Amino acid sequence: MSAPSKTERPAVAQHVAIIMDGNGRWARRQGLPRAEGHRRGVLALKDIVKAAKVRQIKYLTVYAFSTENWRRPQAEVDVLMDLLVEFINSEVSELKSEGVRLDAIGHIEELPARCQEKLAEGMAATRMGRNLVLTLALNYGARREIVDAARALADAVRSGQIETQEITDAVFSAHLSTKDLPDPDLIIRPSGEWRLSNFLLWQAAYAEMYSTEVLWPDFDEKELDLALDAFAQRDRRYGAISRTDQTS
């Protein structure tokens, strides 16, 4: 699917990105192990993918595992990796029939082999999907992504493929892992936090932020609608002035 230009600004959110936060707190409040919170987080993700498609969102990008999440106890990391494999196993045929294309960003080559294989299988099976692109951010960190792009551009300058002056916003964007995605319009963070936590730092330049106290496992399509309604009320000026102020 060809991505719309990064300067084309839609009135409705066509790219929604979500920091799926609060699984641990949800589990603690229910007196359950953290792993159960993550399991319920996957169920929430399944529902939100369906809801996003129905609402004609074209790109849904979810933060599933950050470069910092390796610091968690090994048992929790293992649960998250197993859940990734189970998610693809259980969802791939439905994603395919719904026209959802599965993709991933992040250093996938550092994930356990079983995850890499399953992701490759899921992406290949759904590659013809045209309704929604579901991008899983896995072993993803925005600073690392930006450093990777800077290194690639430095190499390109050194080898004479590009002049320093030719490096623009667009050229830089084209060296990020999100090069095939438009910038996110709306970034949702459940669990009452407003941090970006190293997620899409470059791409979020003009994204609208939305946060809710609801924890990710409880985030359902009603919550998605509240976020989309809030987005629809925002006056996106991109550094210019509001349309209503232009005549005064």
The helix (H) or strand (E) run that includes residue 186 is: strand 186-189
Rounded Cα gap, residues 25 and 65, in angstroms = 17
Nearer to ligand FPP, 87 or 210 (CB): 87
Q: Counting contacts by CB under 6 A, is residue 214 touching ligand FPP? A: no
Nearer to ligand FPP, 122 or 182 (CB): 122
At closest approach, how far in Å is the CB of 6 from ligand FPP? Answer: 26
Q: Counting contacts by CB under 6 A, is residue 116 touching ligand FPP? A: no
CA distances (Å), 200 to each of 3, 17, 128, 208, 229, in order?
Answer: 17, 9, 26, 13, 22
> Which residue among 18, 22, 189, 208 contacts ligand FPP (CB under 6 A)?
22
Contact 68, 141 (CB under 8 A): yes
Q: Counting contacts by CB under 6 A, is residue 92 touching ligand FPP? A: no
Instruction: State the first-to-last Cα distance of the chain, in angstroms, to the nearest integer.
Output: 42
DSSP state for residue 163 in the 8-state scheme: -
Select from 22-30, 51-59, 101-109, 198-206 the region that touches ligand FPP (CB under 6 A).
22-30
Q: Could you identify the residue written with the tokens 């084209």?
A: 174
> Which residue among 14, 35, 41, 51 contacts ligand FPP (CB under 6 A)?
41
Select from 4-12, 16-24, 140-148, 175-183 the region that touches ligand FPP (CB under 6 A).
16-24
Number of H helices, E strands in the chain: 7, 6
Rounded Cα gap, residues 94 and 97, in angstroms = 5
At closest approach, how far in Å is the CB of 201 from ligand FPP? Answer: 18
Select from 3-11, 36-44, 98-106, 200-208 the region that touches ligand FPP (CB under 6 A).
36-44
Of 103, 90, 163, residue with least CA distance to 132:
103
Nearer to ligand FPP, 78 or 169 (CB): 78
Q: Counting contacts by CB under 6 A, is residue 64 touching ligand FPP? A: yes
Task: Give the CA diameter of the chain.
Answer: 61
Rounded Cα gap, residues 104 and 60, in angstroms = 11
At closest approach, how far in Å is the CB of 87 from ligand FPP? Answer: 4
At closest approach, how far in Å is the CB of 72 from ligand FPP? Answer: 8
- Cβ-proximal residue to ligand FPP, closest one: 24
DSSP output for 127-152: TT--SEEEEEEEEE-HHHHHHHHHHH
Is there a catalytic annotation at residue 69?
yes
Q: Footprint of ligand FPP on this chain (CB under 6 A)?
A: 20-25, 38, 41-42, 45, 64, 69, 80, 83-84, 87, 136, 216
Residues catalogued as catalytic? 21, 69
